[in-house]
Amino acid sequence: MNNEIVELLAEHADGLNLEADVSGQLLEENSERSAELATLFELARAVKTTLVPVNAAAFKASLRHRLARHSPQRHLIKRITSSQNVIWVVVAGAGSVLSIAGVLLIVLRKVKSSGNTERQPISAPI
């Protein structure tokens, strides 16, 4: 969208905010783009009628109330996340213990086999 159309839409929006319909005048002044502008102006009017101005103080109070009301749910999520973290730590610890036990078994087996001074030849399957 080029700057000229942006400027025309801004002028149209200013007119809508002042409760003045300047679309006819803008369409006459820019007849080469009237089809495109007419569609955009119609959309701007529809948006303007849909949007409802709100009191900033009332909006803040309402938002504060809604956030405070949903605050316990946030703590529940933190609690669930904390208990899930504990589970993962326990599982990781168990995995580490099993790994260490496996290494110890391998070392013990080698120590036992090295205690046997007779070397046995390795035979390949036939």
SS (H, E, C) the chain: CCHHHHHHHHHHHHHHHCCCCCHHHHHHHCHHHHHHHHHHHHHHHHHHHHCCCCCHHHHHHHHHHHHHHCHHHHHHHHHHHHHHHHHHHHHHHHHHHHHHHHHHHHHHHHHHHHHCCCCCCCCCCC
Q: Are residues 67 and 94 in the same domain?
A: yes
Give the pLDDT confidence score for residue 118 in this predicted structure: 57
Give the pLDDT confidence score for residue 121 in this predicted structure: 59
Identify the domain containing residue 100 by its residue range.
57-111
Q: Are residues 77 and 102 in the same domain?
A: yes
Residue 70 lies in a domain: yes
| Location of structure tokens 């730590």 | 89
| Location of structure tokens 């119609």 | 42
Q: Are residues 48 and 62 in the same domain?
A: no
Residue 120 lies in a domain: no
Q: Are residues 74 and 39 in the same domain?
A: no
pTM above the 0.85 mark?
no
Averaged pLDDT, groups of 10, the chain, 126 residues long:
85 88 88 89 88 86 83 60 76 90 88 66 60
Mean pLDDT of all residues in the chain?
Answer: 81
Residue 124 lies in a domain: no
Give the pLDDT confidence score for residue 96 in this predicted structure: 92
Residue 34 lies in a domain: yes
- Total domain count, the chain: 2
| Location of structure tokens 């070392």 | 107
